[in-house]
A = this chain, B = another copy of it.
Amino acid sequence: MMIIMNVNASPKEIKDVRSWIESNGLGTHLSDGAERTVIGIVGDIRPMHTEQVMHFPGVDRVVPISRPYKLSSREFHSADSKFSVRGLNFGGEEIHIFAGPCSVESREQIIEAAHEVRLAGAHALRGGAFKPRTSPYSFQGLGEEGLAYLAEAREATGLPIVTEVMSSDQVTLIAQYADILQIGARNMQNFMLLKKVGESGAPVLLKRGMGAKIDDLLMAAEYILAQGNQKVILCERGIRTFETQTRNTTDINAIPVLKSLTHLPVILDPSHSTGHWEYVAAISRAGIAAGADGLMIEVHPHPSQALSDGGQSLKPARFADLVRQVKAIATAVERPVAAQPELVHASS
């Protein structure tokens, strides 16, 4: 930590700050600039001190030097994290596409959707059984019934399933069905939930909050990693800005920034980051071109009957076309799109 003093800070003010730091058992280091004095702290400073020192007279600003995340940082773990989920290998060169409807609406719908997205080239099936809806009057999901349908769809198609967990007391139940636990944007800083999915050891797909900085996302991942669970996939899904032509603003910069800062796999959800189906293919291509390790796409067999997010869902034929485009981009960036999981019949 560096403490930047006011231009007019007195020698006594500088001395008082130093004394206080040293009384906390840390060393200090003075740098007299032409204009200001900067006090560096030597030793392991606890974050609280960053703030406390703002109360000393003569202090202008405090600049942190260390980054607050360690386990998720590439500086401390330079190699990409690698782990497998039902035959899908994350953390390597292969690109994965997660697809499916926003919500599980019925047994028929999710099984039809699973077959459609598998046919079109998806590697995993997404679908919400427990739905975080902005309105209490909107469809809230089928709950455990939906989980059972997802499991059936997995059996029918071989696709691993990704589904959202909204509360720490759901983790055990959902982990019995799901292959990957999704933490939604609105729960990115639900710390009780982060700890619980960390403890579960299950693979986690962690979506960035719409008001969260990249550093906040990495700190949220840190909560999971700190429980000993390394299987975390990060997902950019758009942030809130002043632009209103799209539901959110895709932070495409976040893709190369995250790939540089962390060893965790990073995917993009262009359905939420745009909010309009007609922009999803373009932003999918952009995501892979920017270096994303995968995509999560909303696909509904009949979007004009969808119970949620119909406006941003693709029809299966359009999704198949998107997969073809993404493969061309993957080739351009010299990465393979992963092979689809094998279809293992329950009877075999």
Contacts and interface: CB of A to CB of B under 8 A. Distances in A.
A6 interface: yes
A305 interface: yes
A54 interface: yes
Interface string A253-264: 111110011000
Contacts of A244: 213, 244
Interface residues of A, number: 121
A239 B241 contact: yes
A163 interface: no
B40 A33 contact: yes
Contacts of A51: 306, 308-312
Contacts of A82: none
Given A50-B311, A190-B186, A212 B211 contact: yes
Interface of A: 2, 4, 6-8, 20, 29, 31-36, 38, 40-44, 47-48, 50-56, 62-63, 65-66, 68-69, 75-76, 78, 132-139, 166-170, 186-187, 189-193, 195, 209-216, 219, 222-223, 226, 239-246, 249-257, 260-261, 273-274, 276-279, 282-283, 285-291, 303-312, 315, 325, 328-329, 331-333
